[in-house]
Amino acid sequence: MITIPYLTALTTYFSYGLLFAFGQLRDFFRKIFDWCRASNLQGYAPICLGLEDFYIRRLYLRIQDCFGRPIASAPDAWFDVVERYSNDNNKTLKRTTKKSRCLNLGSYNYLGFAASDEYCTPRAIESLKRFSPSTCSARVDGGTTTLHTELEECVANFVQKPAAIVFGMGYVTNSAILPVLMGKGGLIISDSLNHNSIVNGARGSGATIRVFQHNTPSHLEKVLREQIADGQPRTHRPWKKIIVVVEGIYSMEGELCKLPEIVAICKKYKAYVYLDEAHSIGAVGKSGRGVCELLGVDTADVDIMMGTFTKSFGSCGGYIAGSKELIQYLKYTCPAHLYATSISPPAAQQIISSIKVILGEDGTSRGAQKLARIRENSNFFRSELQKMGFEVLGDNDSPVMPIMLYNPAKIPAFSRECLKQNVAVVTVAFPATPLLLARARICISASHTKEDLVKALEVISRVGDLVGIKYFPAEPNKQQQEKGMIKVD
């Protein structure tokens, strides 16, 4: 739970109120001018209508240069950011031929596999020559190659489940699977800060949805107890099925799921556990097997394990792992398997190769070194940010580090100032986060060197002072402490 300082909340509300008031005033005059002009769409309702459209036009477009920045190289520790300009107050952005070499603190390249790799890249190129870029077919038609079968066996072995099924897109893995598993008469209990793919999948299922307070097992138990006692709406019949959906690492908070407590509660009330490991699989745990390994939870106690290949494995797509009966059922019923084009063969080979590196099956210890490095880098960077006085969310070992900005004016200021000093960061605001809780999300990689992290910390500290986002007093460094001791002596 984030506790916002009173003054910060007040100034943030005031800033949004001011933007809203001036936006409404501009819209009022816009309607007058539009009324005077001839319209080709008389009688049609506006295709874009409502507060979302207002937010995009009057708030987002003013700072859209901070989002969707195009890059011109692999998303390694350093990458090339294409420079853009606007002649109409940011309504449209045009690319230039200029590029800036920037330190990458925004990509999900947790283990560094997104760049060229001595083991993975040659094998991906070879698979491209052998299979082509796409199967041009769904899995049930002509879209299952030997690589797809090998990948599913490899994933099942890696996450220590009996079977697995893979999909071409991580977002679809959640949004297409939940409607297959759940339906009318079922109950989905979802963490309040679950990813949008889970939210949309739950809504599309037709099941009843209840939300529990973020990462709070005691509230989950309360909701479960109440819902089991009440039963289905109107009829009060027992629920056909109950699934509790949580994430391993929450992508906007950087927090680890309290999985042992949640699993214990679900066992007590006979509810299924659905674990989304998009940001945790490959990134945490002694051998990269995610939060189950890190927190000492038996994978047999997690009924449905979901994950993506877009973070730690440097590829695309997602997977569901579970019992053989579950996976067989999904292969017969899931539209993402039946109708969508299968995952690209070179992408499948990239995943297989990266898993082999992580497990040391390439004949080296590079995988273990990458896992040790990302853990060291993450904990070092988080610790230093906190010492500087930033409000940093999340837990140790998590490679996701949100720095709280709050005020809407600080979103573009922080992003632009960092970019000027060749550090590329991702800023996140409404609707991805609650209105008051804007933040910069730092993602650390095993490919970052100590020098990279020190440079990033120096830049972020300078920008933090300039923008005014150090909400806590900074800790004195060792030199200041030594000087203080000398003076006392």
Q: Are the CB atoms for 374 and 110 separated by under 8 Å? A: yes
List per-residue pLDDT tens for the chain, 489 residues long. Answer: 677 888 888 999 999 999 999 999 988 888 787 776 655 566 777 777 777 888 888 888 999 999 999 999 999 999 999 999 999 888 899 999 999 999 999 999 999 999 999 999 999 999 999 999 999 999 999 999 999 999 999 999 999 999 999 999 999 999 999 999 999 999 999 999 999 999 999 999 999 999 999 999 999 999 999 999 999 999 999 999 999 999 999 999 999 999 999 999 999 999 999 999 999 999 999 999 999 999 999 999 999 999 999 999 999 999 999 999 999 999 999 999 999 999 999 999 999 999 999 999 999 999 999 999 999 999 999 999 999 999 999 999 999 999 999 999 999 999 999 999 999 999 998 888 888 899 999 999 999 999 999 999 999 999 999 999 999 888 876 555 555 544 444
350 and 240, same domain (yes or no): yes
Residues 6+ apart with CB under 8 A from 336: 167, 168, 169, 172, 173, 176, 177
Residue 473 within any structural domain of the chain: no
Q: How far apart are CA 284 and CA 101, in angstroms?
A: 29
Residue 460 within any structural domain of the chain:
yes
277-322-242 Cα angle (round to 5) = 85
Structure token pair of residue 311: 């973070």
Predicted local confidence at residue 432, as pLDDT = 86
User: 331 and 421 share a domain?
Assistant: no
Question: pTM of the predicted model, to two decimals?
Answer: 0.92
| Residue 37 belongs to domain with CATH number | 3.90.1150.10
Distance from C-alpha of 396 to C-alpha of 384, rounded to nearest angstrom: 12
SS (H, E, C) 243-307: EEEEECECCCCCCECCHHHHHHHHHHCCCEEEEECCCCCCCCCCCCCCHHHHHCCCHHHCCEEEE
Check: CB of residue 342 under 8 Å from CB of residue 137: yes
The reply to whether 251 and 150 lie within a common domain is yes
Are 337 and 405 in a shared domain? no
- R_g of the chain computed on alpha carbons: 24
CA distance 170 to 70: 21
CA distance 147 to 9: 52
Do 76 and 204 fall into the same domain?
no
Same domain, 157 and 27: no
| Domain limit, last residue, from 329, 359, 389 | 359
Q: Which residues make Cβ contacts (< 8 Å) with residue 31, sequence separation at least 6?
A: none
Beta bridge partners of 138: 341
Task: Tell whether 328 and 380 lie within a shared domain.
Answer: no
Do residues 349 and 374 share a domain? no
How far is CA 479 from each of CA 257, 439, 452, 476, rounded to the nearest angstrom?
A: 38, 31, 22, 8
3-state secondary structure 318-353: EEEEECHHHHHHHHHHCHHHHCCECCCHHHHHHHHH
Q: Is residue 259 part of a domain?
A: yes
Specify whether the CB–CB gap between 347 and 316 falls below 8 A. Answer: yes
Q: Is there a single domain that holds both residue 130 and residue 249? A: yes
Q: Output the domain CATH number for residue 173.
A: 3.40.640.10
The verdict on 100 and 170 lying in the same domain is no
Number of domains making up the chain: 2
Picking from 332, 359, 386, the residue at the C-terminal end of a domain is: 359
- Shared-domain flag, residues 190 and 240: yes
Q: Tell me how long the chain is.
A: 489
Burial 263-291 (b: 16+ CB within 10 A, else e): bebbeeeebbbbbbbbbbbbbbbeebbbb
pLDDT at 488: 43
- Closest to 52 measured CA to CA, from 25, 29, 28, 23: 23
- Same domain for 173 and 305, yes or no, is yes
Q: Can you say how many angstroms the Cα of residue 35 is from the centroid of all Cα atoms in its chain?
A: 43
Residues with Cβ < 8 Å from 111, sequence gap 6 or more? 282, 283, 288, 312, 313, 314, 354, 358, 370, 371, 374, 445, 446
In a domain, 109, yes or no: no
Please enumerate, as own/partner, the contacts of 474-482 that have beta carbons within 8 Å and a separation of 24 or more.
474/387, 474/388, 474/389, 475/387, 475/388, 475/389, 477/387
Give the domain range for residue 132: 119-359
* Bond prior to 335 in cis (omega within 30° of 0): no
Q: Which of 359, 381, 411 is the last residue of a domain?
A: 359
